[in-house]
């Protein structure tokens, strides 16, 4: 099975900082990767699919990149409302899907 | 309004069964794949199972394979999860989620889960 490893597991950054979260697959998954945001006590929200396509309504400060085994989610200017846990999810071996372990983002 | 509403959760003893339901509204249910995703208390998201638009493609996480069965009734706009031989480690909030694609045995038919329900809590304990 392909494993998905997210790093870091948590981070603390200041408002306005550029934040990068990494998701690494143990084998190539092309661009079959999505990113989700889950705010405390809330339902997950789809941010990005196909590694780099921004979901409708998601602020443009969020972006995704990568292909194969290494992927990144970038928040260009961290805002207070971005405090959340972020998850990557692969779907190359559909219908079986896998989430990464999550990255908790906090404000310094 | 696009909406998913889960039901059927509760407290159940180890080894017993439970059936979760998810009622969909506000979109053409039989155009899309559907998934069950769970989250144990204080833990991350775990994909449990998924089913394509026509039930022709079904997948399960290894942790539930052979114990859980996913199904859908497109006439009733409903998704189900039959959970048998429940274990303490199945304790979680169970979400129903809609895929943006129709699903199938190829990754190109999936795009990510764009609509989620509020979840139903399953607690397995004696």
pLDDT of residue B37: 98
Min distance A13 CA to chain B CA atoms (Å) = 21
pLDDT of residue B70: 98
Q: What percent of chain A is predicted at pLDDT more than 90?
A: 92
Chain A residues touching B46 at Cβ < 8 A: 99
Q: Let me know if A84 is exposed, middle or buried by CB neighbors in 10 A (0-12, 13-18, 19+).
A: buried
Residue A56 has which token pair?
């409708």
The parts of chain B modelled with pLDDT lower than 50 are: none
**A94 shares contact with chain B (CB less than 8 Å):** yes
Q: Do A97 and B109 touch (CB under 8 A)?
A: no
Q: Do B52 and A95 touch (CB under 8 A)?
A: yes
Q: How far is CA B119 from CA A2, A66, B8, B38, B125, in A?
A: 27, 31, 10, 8, 19
**A96 shares contact with chain B (CB less than 8 Å):** yes
pLDDT of residue B108: 83
Chain B contacts in chain A segment 46-65 (CB below 8 A): 46, 48-50, 55
Using pLDDT thresholds of 50, 70 and 90, give the confidence band for residue A1. Answer: confident
Mean pLDDT over all residues of chain B? 96
pLDDT of residue B104: 87
Q: Do B57 and A89 touch (CB under 8 A)?
A: no
Q: Do B107 and A30 touch (CB under 8 A)?
A: yes
Residue B126 has which token pair?
């004696």
pLDDT of residue A83: 98
pLDDT of residue B64: 98
Mean pLDDT over all residues of chain A? 96
Instruction: With a cut of 90, say whether residue A76 has pLDDT above it.
Output: yes
Strand partners, A68: none
Nearest C-alpha in A relative to B52:
A95
pLDDT of residue B84: 98
Instruction: With a cut of 90, say whether residue A106 has pLDDT above it.
Output: yes
Using pLDDT thresholds of 50, 70 and 90, give the confidence band for residue A24. Answer: very high
Rounded CA separation A65/A73 (Å): 7
pLDDT of residue B106: 85
Instruction: With a cut of 90, say whether residue A95 has pLDDT above it.
Output: no
pLDDT of residue B105: 84
Closest CA to B40 of B94, B86, B80, B76: B94
């Amino acid at each position: 099975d392909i494993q998905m490893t997210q790093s870091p597991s948590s981070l603390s950054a200041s408002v306005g900082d550029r934040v990068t979260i990494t998701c690494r697959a143990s084998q190539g998954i092309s661009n079959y990767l999505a990113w989700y945001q889950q705010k405390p006590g809330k339902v997950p929200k789809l941010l990005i699919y196909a590694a780099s396509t921004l979901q409708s309504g998601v602020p443009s400060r969020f972006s995704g990149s990568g292909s194969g085994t290494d992927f990144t989610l970038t928040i260009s200017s961290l805002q207070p409302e971005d405090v959340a846990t972020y998850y990557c999810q692969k779907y190359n071996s559909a219908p079986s899907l896998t989430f990464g372990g999550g990255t908790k983002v906090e404000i310094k | 309004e696009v909406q998913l509403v889960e039901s059927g959760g509760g407290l159940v003893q180890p080894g017993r069964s439970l059936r979760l339901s998810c009622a969909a509204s506000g979109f053409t249910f039989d155009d899309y794949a559907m998934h069950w995703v769970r989250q144990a208390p204080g833990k991350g998201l775990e994909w449990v199972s998924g089913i394509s638009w026509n039930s022709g493609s079904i997948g399960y996480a290894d942790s539930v394979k052979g114990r859980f069965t996913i199904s859908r009734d497109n006439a009733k706009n409903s998704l189900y999860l039959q959970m048998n031989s429940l274990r303490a480690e199945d304790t979680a909030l169970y979400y129903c989620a809609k895929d943006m694609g129709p699903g199938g045995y190829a990754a190109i038919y999936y795009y990510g889960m764009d609509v989620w329900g509020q979840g139903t809590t399953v607690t397995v304990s004696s």
